Structures are given as C-alpha cells and as structure tokens.
Amino acid sequence: MKKAQVEQMQKHNPKKPNSARRTVAKVKIKHTKKNVFCHVPGNKHNLSKHSVVMLQGGRCQDLIGVRYKPIFGLFNLAPVDRNSRFTKFGLSAKKKKQELKEKL
C-alpha cells in the first residue's frame, strides 16, 4: 500500500472490444515521487486535485498502464454507501450499524 497525492483526474478509453470511459486519477506516490495512474471504480467518488489517497495494487485489465486502485474510506476518499461488503470499501459492519442507530 502506498500513500499518494492526486495530480489530475481523467477519463480513459479502454482497449477493444470495451467502450465505456473509465475514471482514472494521475497520482504522485509520496515515497518514490513517481507518477502513476490509478483506476477509480464505481460511479461516485469525491476525488479532486490535491486529494490524498492510499493505493493498493490491482490492475485494470482493459486500461493500458493502470496498475493501482485507491482504497475507499481512507484519507480524502470517502467510503461508498453500500448494504453489503462494508470492509472492502472502508467501513466495518459495526461502524455502519452505529451510524444506522444514530439516524433512528
């Protein structure tokens, strides 16, 4: 896992035969000062220039040169609203239950 800062948000076209535009962030890894691309999965996110994210390995097969994905729920990247699989996206089940109780 690597800490990085977003330098630019972009949309990339995937390789054939896929056609949907993918959201990609150009980030600078803090430790090595290296610029890489990371794929931001899903429809909604709150990333913008100068946001700090934690990267994990995991390439996007239909995007050339994209080898990282950000971890949701850490630093400036907000967790995703989901009803299942909380821990994959940065929310533990206990934390989610507490938030639901507070709303009621």
Give the pLDDT confidence of 39-90 residue by residue, as tens digits. 998 877 889 999 999 999 998 999 999 999 999 888 888 877 666 666 666 6
Beta-carbon neighbour count of residue 101 at 10 Å? 8
Integer CA distances (angstroms), 87 to 12, 13, 44, 48, 63, in order: 28, 30, 18, 24, 26
Fold assignment, 2-103: OB fold (Dihydrolipoamide Acetyltransferase, E2P) (2.40.50)
Amino acid code (one letter) for 32: T
What pLDDT band is residue 12 in, cutting at 50, 70 and 90? very high
Q: Which of 56, 94, 58, 88 is nearest to 73 (CA)?
A: 88
What pLDDT band is residue 30 in, cutting at 50, 70 and 90? very high
pTM, two decimal places: 0.76
The residues spanned by each domain of the chain are: 2-103
- Structure confidence at residue 54 (pLDDT): 94
